[in-house]
Structures are given as C-alpha cells and as structure tokens.
Amino acid sequence: MSLPLVPFALSAVLIAAGVTLLLERSLVRILVGVIVLSNGVNLLIVTAGGPAGRPPFAGTEGMADPLPQAMVLTSIVITLGVTAFLLAMAHRSWQLTGDDAVQDDTEDRRVRIRATAGELSRGLRDRERSYERLVADQRAELARLDAERIERERRAAAELESRILEINVDLGRWMEAHKNDGLPAEELLRRFEEARRQEEAQARGKDDRVRELRDDFARRQREQDAAEAELRRKLRTRQREARRKLRAAIREDLRRQALAQDPELEGED
Amino acid sequence: MQALIPAPVLLPLLAAALKLAIGGRLRRLHALISLATLGAMVVISLILLAAADRGGPLVACIGGWPAPTGICLVADRLSTLMLVVSSAVTFCVMLYSLANAYADQEHLAPMAIFHPAYLIMVAGVADAFLSGDLFNLFVAFEMLLGGSYVLLTFGGTLPRIRAGATYTVMGLASSMLFLIALAITYASTGTLSMAQLAERFAELPQHLKLLVELTLLLVFAIKAAVFPMSAWLPDSYPTAPAPATAVFAGLLTKVGIYSIIRLEALLFPGGPVSTILMWAALLTMLIGVAGAVAQTDIKRMLSFTLVSHIGYMVYGVALSSIAGMAGAVMYVVHHITVQTSLFLVTGLIERRTGTTSVDRLGGLMRLAPLIAVLFFIPAMNLSGIPPMSGFLGKLLLVQAGLADGGPLALTLVAGSLVTSLLTLYAVAKTWGKAFWRSPPAAAGAEETVLDSEESSEEGAIRTTVMPPWPMVAATAALVVLALSYTVLAGPLSALAGRTAGELMARQPYLEAVSGSGR
C-alpha cells in the first residue's frame, strides 16, 4: 500500500498554519486557526480510513471504511459548535474592551508588576549611589587642594623666615665689618631699625595675603557646601517624587488586578 | 441491568433538552427536574457499582451493534465508583447553586442557561467514565468542555471572558491533539474500541506504540493539569461562579486522571512512560504547592493546591502496581469530594463577606463560626491530618511507593510528604488570616462594619446576610461525605483494592467487551 502523500502533505500544511494562527493574540485569528487546524485534522482522519475511490456499498471486501467518515462528521459538528461559541466570545470581548486580544493571565501580570517595581527601585538606588560617589569624589578633591595650599603657605613662610635669618646674619656681618668705618653708632642703629621695619612691613603684607587667601578659600568652600546641600535636597525631592509615582502606579495596577480577579466587584467599576 | 448503563448519560441530556424547551418560566419545575435527574443518577450509579462489584464489568452496546462498529459503554468498578462519587458531588453542587440563584434573585436568565449547561457537563463526565471506545471518550470530553465553556464565561463579565478565552483555546488545542491521536491510532490499528486496542497495541512496533501513548497522555495531562500543562488552571477556574468552580475543580481534572488510569492500565500496561509520569508527578506536586503558598486569594490558593494534588494521583498511576493504583483510586475519590467542598465553602465566604482575598478578610471565626468549621474540616482533610480520608489516601500511596522501593519512587514518597506539609502550611496560613486573626485595619471601625447588613465603604469588609441554609446544608453534606470515608475506610479501601486488581488484570474488562457481541 502506497502512502497517500498529497492528503498527508495537505493536512500537514493545514495543521501547521492552524497552529501558527492559534498562537496569535487576537481571538478572531485564533478562530481562523481553529478552523484551519480542524480541517487539517479531519483530513488526517479521512486519510487514516484508507485510499480514496473505494465504493461505499460493495459487499464487505474493498468497501470504503465508514467509521472514519462518521468520526469526521461528528468532529465537524463539534468544531462548528465550538467555533460559534468562540465567535460569540470574541464579540463579547470586543463589546467589553473594544479589542479581542487574549490578555495575559493574572500571575503573569503580577510577576511583571513586581519586576517593573524592582527595576525602578533598583534604578533609583543606582542613581543615589552614583551621586553619593560623586560627592565623595568632590570632597576628596577639595581636601587635596586644601592640603596642597596649606603646604605651599607653610613652605612660603619657612622661606621667608630663612630669608629674614639670612638678612639678620648679613646685617650682623656688615655691622661687624663697618664697626671701625667711623660711622656713628646712632646712624648704624637707625639704618638697622629701618631695615627691620622694611622687613616687618614685607612680612605683614605676606601675612595679609595668606589670610586673604584663606578667607577666600573658606568662602569658596562654604559656597560649594551650600551648592551641594541644594543639589542633595533637589535630588531627594526628585527621588521622593519618583517613589510616590511608582507607588501610585503599583497601587493602581494592584487595584485593577483585584478588580479583574473579583467578579463581584466588576459591576462597581 | 444493562439498560441502566446509558442512563447516567441520557438522563441529564434529556433533562437539559426539557429545560431548554421550558425556557425561563416555572422555576420550581426547573429545580425539581434538576434535582430529580441528579438524584436518580446517584441511585443508578450506586446500583451499577453494586452490580459491577459483584458480577464483573457490565457492557451495553448502543443500538445492538457489537463492539468494533457500535458504541459500547462499559461499567466496571472504576467507572461506577467514579460515577457514584461524581453524581453525589454534582447533586450537592446543584442544591447549592439552586439556593445561590434564589438568593441572588436571578430567576430567569441563569435558570435558562446555567442548568442545561451544567447538566450537559454532567452527562459528558458520566459519558467519559462509561465510554468504552476512544472516539466516544473524545465526544464525552467535548460535551463536558462545551458545558464548562458556558459555565466559565457565565454572565459574560470582563474577567470571565478573559479567563474563558484562555480556557477555551486550551480546550480546543487539546481536542485537536486528541483528534490527531485518534487518527494515528485508527490508521495503525483500524479500531478505536478500547478493548480491541488493548489487544492490537501489543502487536504494534515499539516506536509507534510510544507515539500514540505519548500523544494521548499529553491530551489527558492537559485535561488533568499535570505540571508543564497546568498553567491554564489557576488562571481560569477562580473567575467562574462558585458552584461551577467547585464542580470543575472536583470533576473535570479527575476525568483527565481517570483517562490516564485507563490509558496506563488498560491500553499500555507496563510501558516505559511510567518514569516520565513519575517526574511529572513530582514536579506537579512541588510546583503546584509552591504556587499555593504564594497566593493571597483563597480561590487561587485552592486552585494551586488542586494542581499540586493531581500529582499524587499521577504518582499512584505511575507506580503501575496494584497498591499504587488502589492508592490513586482512593485519592481520586477523596479529592473529588474535598476539593469540591472547599470551593463551595469559599463561595459561602464570598457570599458572606464579598471577598475571597485573605488580605481583606479577618475575624470570620467570630463572624461566621459555622463557615469556619466547614472550612476547617476539609482544609485539614486536604492536607492529610489523620484520621481523615486525605491521610488514608496518602498513606496508601506512601505504602505503595515504599513497596516499590526504587530510587525514583522513594524520591516521590519524600516529595509527597513535603507537599503534604506545604499544603498544611498554605491552608493554615489562610485559616489564620481569614478566620483566626481580628479583622484587618482596612475594616476601620470593626463593630459598625460587622453589624451593618449592607455593603459599607470601599476597602472594608462587605458584610451580607448569612447564606441561605440550603447552600450551607449542601456544603455540609459534602464535608460529611468526605468524613464518612474515614468511617467506611475498611470497605472503601477494599473496594479500591478490588478496583485496582481488576484494572491491572485487564482480563475481566476485555472478556466482558468481547463477550458482549455474542
């Protein structure tokens, strides 16, 4: 007995097309899929009954097998009924939602809501953490600059002192050398005083500048602190806002879900 | 006696036709017809069970055509036992839904649609249990599915349409798969009569046999909600009206289990598939109960435990020993009753409080002590507290697993014990939240809410009047029925053992069918 290739191939194609359509979201497409699929399956059953072209009544030998045909008739009728029901359901779905798509089941939706909530809060946490890292970096940079400046000032002061010391030593040497030059001691003392005043004035000027610099630095730091506080405040407000929105969205979803789950409440919606 | 065999299928169909003819009028007549039909089914099933238990399988061939050509109904111990339990359950649920409909003042529309759909579903269930050939089994599946489609989308509200779409497409896909399996079977053996198939499958090459077996098993596993194919169940069942959910949960999945038992015991005894079934059983038990633990809605929680406990029955079948089969039969009987009564009690809770979410429930122990007792007993029964029937069923299964002694069987014994514990945890959590604790803060002023007779503001517990007594009575009847399995444990487990013996021996069935032609 040869394999009836054509009917087999045809029913395979029909079943494949039907299954593809069955996987769609729209109920009408599913309906078409069911019709195509059931035709393919019915063809398969008829093919199972033996080769075509046999007589319907010719004794018992060589007669066409009546059983598969009876089965196919039954299955056609059943498919008709179920198709009508599916069609009515698609219509009702369209009446209610303006759409005939099959929706996700409750568990899927619940898992998805949780996933989005988790993602959002993770994003918030990440942003917060990166901001904190930025602030810490800035702090460290400031401290470094601060330390550098203090070091520079310290070095400048040391240099100044050493120069004063040098000058004093020079002066002593000079005075020693010119002791016998005949310049009157008063004159010497006067000049000495003058030199010291000059030195002092110079030193005072330097001190002033250092103080000024320090003030300036402190002011700048204060400004930066204020800006940072402002930024933090803004960020906190933004985060709070985002959290509130997220929570409201989740609550809304849950409420809708509860409504969807609770057939009794449907009327009040 | 043979004339009685088609009665469980015919009577509900005739009643449904009669009801459609009457239409929406004559409420009392409707109620009378439904109760009389279902009551008659109980009696007939009991007679059939007694006859089949005493004299071996009974066969009735419709129209007098013998087995291969005509449609034969076979009533052996398994079919009749299932029939007895299912008709008792459907009778109680019908009583419940009648009271429910009266209380809801939905006289006209529900009567005109609910009852015929319900009766057709009952006829389909009975036909599935009695059917002696695979195509008739397909027709029975379509009958019960058709009825259940209507019941599930009853009223056409948005959630029911949403759940109904999933359920219907799932049912259609499995029906198509069933037809494909039938085509393969017929092409390879030239018959669909189960008795003939049992003989002819033995002569088929191994790979072809395996193909047919796996395809059929897939179909029945979808119906029974065995693990990889179980996702549709917890999503669709809870949205249906309470009586419909109860009878779906009790019966429809068990029809799948019944078919798996027939398939494994009669058509493909001792195949290599039992290992696959064992793994499926283990995963079904554990994953189902894990889902149950995570739920906050009582109906959804129960749906997940339903999936989980399907695993026990599959496990009993997969052991393919007389002890395992007896355990599975015992468990099916227990589970039909207990699961149905739990869903009915949940319906009572919903009617009393307006919600089934444990987050919003509380204090039911004080508010409705009767409902609390009615919930507590089957809940403990479900989780297998001795000496209730859940414990007996689990005990039989565990004994069968230990007797088998294989590593996989022992893993399953451990898995079933863990599942039992987790079930206890899930129902105890529900009990604690819904019944034991004081009402949640959302209820606001406790006294005013609990005392008010009408619905209060949103978020609070909506208190309605106590459900009408027939609803409570129907639920209580099922709870008592489940408890009576404990009292009747001796005869019942002996019957389950005889059923399993008959199933595994196969000869009585085959001889009865082949003898019917002459």
Q: Which has more pLDDT, B458 or B203? A: B203
Packing angle between helix B108-130 and helix B7-22, nearest 10 degrees? 160
Answer yes or no: is B380 within a domain.
Answer: yes
Answer yes or no: is B312 within a domain.
Answer: yes
Separation between Cα atoms, residue B518 and residue B514, nearest integer Å: 8
Q: Alpha carbon B445 to chain centroid distance? A: 41
- With beta carbons under 8 A apart, name residues in chain B contacting A34: 172, 176
Q: Measuring CA to CA, how many Å separate B132 from each of B70, B137, B199, B476, B504?
A: 10, 8, 14, 35, 17
Identify the pLDDT of residue B459: 42
Answer yes or no: is B237 within a domain.
Answer: no
User: What is the helix (H) or strand (E) element at residue B60, kind and residue range?
Assistant: strand B58-61
User: A185-189, B8-12, B262-266, B290-294: which has the minimum mean pLDDT?
Assistant: A185-189
Closest-CA distance, B347 to chain A, in angstroms, reads 11
- With beta carbons under 8 A apart, name residues in chain A contacting B153: 89, 92
- With beta carbons under 8 A apart, name residues in chain A contacting B168: 82, 85-86, 89
Please answer yes or no on whether A86 and B172 come within 8 Å at the CB atom.
yes
Q: Do A124 and A52 share a structural domain? A: no
Please answer yes or no on whether B165 and A27 come within 8 Å at the CB atom.
yes
Closest-CA distance, A69 to chain B, in angstroms, reads 11
Share of chain B above pLDDT 90, in %: 37
Of B166, B173, B354, the CB nearest to A264: B354
pLDDT at B444 over 50: no
pLDDT at A1 over 70: no
Closest-CA distance, B183 to chain A, in angstroms, reads 5
Chosen for mutation from A89, A100, A110, A269 (greatest number of chain B CBs closer than 10 Å) is A89
* pLDDT per residue as tens digits for the range A169-181: 888 888 777 776 6
Q: Are A74 and B135 in contact (CB under 8 A)?
A: yes
Q: Are B490 and B171 in contact (CB under 8 A)?
A: no
pLDDT at B276 over 70: yes
Q: Do A85 and A28 share a structural domain? A: yes
Q: Would you place residue A182 in the very low, low, confident or very high pLDDT band (cuts 50, 70, 90)? A: low
Q: Would you place residue B312 in the very low, low, confident or very high pLDDT band (cuts 50, 70, 90)? A: very high
* pLDDT per residue as tens digits for the range B25-54: 777 888 888 899 999 999 999 999 999 888
Q: Do A9 and A90 share a structural domain? A: yes
Mean pLDDT of B420-430: 92
Residue B439 preceded by cis peptide, ω within 30: no
Instruction: Tally the domains of chain B.
Output: 1
Instruction: Tally the domains of chain A.
Output: 2
Q: Do A204 and A72 share a structural domain? A: no
Q: Do A89 and A122 share a structural domain? A: no
Final residue before a domain boundary, out of A70, A97, A124:
A97
Q: Would you place residue B446 in the very low, low, confident or very high pLDDT band (cuts 50, 70, 90)? A: very low
Q: Do A92 and A124 share a structural domain? A: no
Identify the pLDDT of residue B230: 86
Mean pLDDT of A50-77: 80
Please answer yes or no on whether A264 and B350 come within 8 Å at the CB atom.
yes
Q: Do A183 and A129 share a structural domain? A: yes
Final residue before a domain boundary, out of A97, A114, A140:
A97
Please answer yes or no on whether A45 and B186 come within 8 Å at the CB atom.
yes
Final residue before a domain boundary, out of A97, A124, A155:
A97
pLDDT at B457 over 50: no
B 144-173 near A (Cβ less than 8 A)? 145-146, 149-150, 153, 155-166, 168-169, 172-173
B 211-250 near A (Cβ less than 8 A)? 231, 234-235, 238-239, 241
Closest-CA distance, A217 to chain B, in angstroms, reads 57
Identify the pLDDT of residue A59: 66
User: A148-162, A210-224, B361-375: which has the minimum mean pLDDT?
Assistant: B361-375
Chosen for mutation from A105, A108, A113, A265 (greatest number of chain B CBs closer than 10 Å) is A105
Kindly state whether A105 is in contact with chain B, defined as any CB-CB distance less than 8 angstroms: yes
Q: Nearest-CA residue of chain A relative to B351?
A: A264
- What's the mean pLDDT when you consider all of chain B? 85
Q: Do A177 and A226 share a structural domain? A: yes
Mean pLDDT of B419-435: 90
Please answer yes or no on whether A82 and B297 come within 8 Å at the CB atom.
no
| CATH value at residue A82 | 1.10.287
Write phi, then psi, for B438 (nearest 5 degrees): -75, 155
Q: Would you place residue B465 in the very low, low, confident or very high pLDDT band (cuts 50, 70, 90)? A: low
Please answer yes or no on whether A89 and B186 come within 8 Å at the CB atom.
no
Q: Do A154 and A246 share a structural domain? A: yes
Answer yes or no: is B280 within a domain.
Answer: yes
Q: Do A253 and A186 share a structural domain? A: yes
Q: Do A199 and A181 share a structural domain? A: yes
- Residue numbers of the domain that contains A38: 5-97
Separation between Cα atoms, residue B41 and residue B36, nearest integer Å: 8
Kindly state whether A64 is in contact with chain B, defined as any CB-CB distance less than 8 angstroms: no
Q: Are A26 and A94 in contact (CB under 8 A)?
A: no
- What's the mean pLDDT when you consider all of chain A? 83
Mean pLDDT of B289-313: 90
- With beta carbons under 8 A apart, name residues in chain B contacting A92: 153, 156, 161
Answer yes or no: is B69 within a domain.
Answer: no
Answer yes or no: is B303 within a domain.
Answer: yes
User: What is the helix (H) or strand (E) element at residue B140, kind and residue range?
Assistant: helix B134-152
Share of chain B above pLDDT 70, in %: 92
Identify the pLDDT of residue A2: 61
Write phi, then psi, for B133 (nearest 5 degrees): -140, 160
Q: Nearest-CA residue of chain A relative to B193?
A: A67
Q: Are A45 and A68 in contact (CB under 8 A)?
A: yes
pLDDT at B157 over 70: yes
Separation between Cα atoms, residue B127 and residue B139, nearest integer Å: 8
- Residue numbers of the domain that contains B398: 272-487
Write phi, then psi, for A124 (nearest 5 degrees): -60, -45
pLDDT at A130 over 50: yes
Answer yes or no: is B337 within a domain.
Answer: yes
Identify the pLDDT of residue B232: 87
pLDDT at A36 over 90: yes
Q: Do A264 and A132 share a structural domain? A: yes
Identify the pLDDT of residue B47: 92
Mean pLDDT of A30-42: 93
Kindly state whether A71 is in contact with chain B, defined as any CB-CB distance less than 8 angstroms: yes
Mean pLDDT of B261-269: 88
User: What is the helix (H) or strand (E) element at residue B58, kind and residue range?
Assistant: strand B58-61
Mean pLDDT of B224-239: 86
- With beta carbons under 8 A apart, name residues in chain B contacting A93: 161-162, 165
